[in-house]
Amino acid sequence: MKTSNYKYYDLVMAAFVTVLITANIIGPAKISQLELPIFGVITFGAGVLFFPIAFIFGDILTEVYGYAASRRVIWAGFAGLAFASFMAWVVVALPPAPFWKNQEVYEVAFGSAWRVALAGLIAFAAGEFANSFVMAKMKIWTKGKKLWTRTIGSTVIGEGVDSILFYPLAFYNSGIIPNEMLMLVVVAQFLAKTGVEIAFTPITYKIIKFLKTKEKIDFYDTKTDFNPFTFKG
């Protein structure tokens, strides 16, 4: 697919990569706690509020432009996140000036251990490709109808893969999260991220409708090569 033929594809790619990098670099450093009327007190990583937006963009890209176009964006996001993680590691590792007293605070905010960063990259790629694959296949199975079944169905799979890979890879036997609590964290984060995406469904509908109208495209992946490691159609 020649994505240069479309007006908004590059903008969606830029938005996807921006959300992905900022959610992974800024969000994880803060643990928040809210008291909700029905659910009581909930504790969560702040990034969980914004990371699901990356999966929403994945849904939009696959639904409008197809799996192959989405695959390019996923790898662009992977490269951007890898560079941001490497840059954060280098900047944290640089020796601070004697008069600069904020090294410890900087390390807390941006000094993710290599294991956490690597786990994030693996989980993101696997989750996004699973999300896009399911979205594309369900569009064929449903003949383009009932969009909500695809956005929610692909989200359940994609966020599930992401959560179940990230937390064990990042924290098993780490001493940060007790091993017996890992699955509880996985389930809690999965439900939170899926809930955010479901809440955004009306907005997702509007964006998809706008793009299909403006780009004059509604792609079906009937002849697509779903190999995540190729850039062919």
pLDDT band at 201 (very low <50, low <70, confident <90, very high): very high
Statement: residue 30 has pLDDT above 80: no
- What's the pLDDT at 145? 94
Q: Which residues contact 9 (CB under 8 A, 6 or more apart)?
A: 3, 65, 69, 215
The mean pLDDT of the chain is 88
Compare 195 and 112 and report the one with higher pLDDT: 195
| CA angle centred on 139, ends 135 and 144, rounded to 5° | 140
Residues 131, 66: Cα–Cα separation, whole Å: 12
pLDDT band at 11 (very low <50, low <70, confident <90, very high): very high
Mean predicted confidence (pLDDT) in 85-96: 88
pLDDT band at 210 (very low <50, low <70, confident <90, very high): very high
Statement: residue 16 has pLDDT above 90: yes
Compare 33 and 1 and report the one with higher pLDDT: 33
pLDDT band at 29 (very low <50, low <70, confident <90, very high): low
Compare 22 and 145 and report the one with higher pLDDT: 145
Residues 220, 216: Cα–Cα separation, whole Å: 13
Residues 70, 3: Cα–Cα separation, whole Å: 10
Residues 14, 30: Cα–Cα separation, whole Å: 25
> Mind listing the pLDDT tens digit for each residue in 146-186?
999 999 999 999 999 999 998 888 888 877 778 888 888 88
- What's the pLDDT at 27? 66
Helices (H), 66-178: 67-93, 103-110, 114-141, 147-171
pLDDT band at 137 (very low <50, low <70, confident <90, very high): very high
CA 167, chain centre distance (Å): 14
pLDDT band at 209 (very low <50, low <70, confident <90, very high): very high
State percent of the chain over pLDDT 90: 52
Model-level pTM? 0.88
> Where are the domains positioned within the chain?
3-215
Residues 149, 198: Cα–Cα separation, whole Å: 11
CB-CB contact of 207 with 16 (8 Å): no
- What's the pLDDT at 233? 61
CB-CB contact of 112 with 94 (8 Å): no
- What's the pLDDT at 31? 67
Q: Which residues contact 141 (CB under 8 A, 6 or more apart)?
A: none
pLDDT band at 120 (very low <50, low <70, confident <90, very high): confident
Compare 63 and 3 and report the one with higher pLDDT: 63
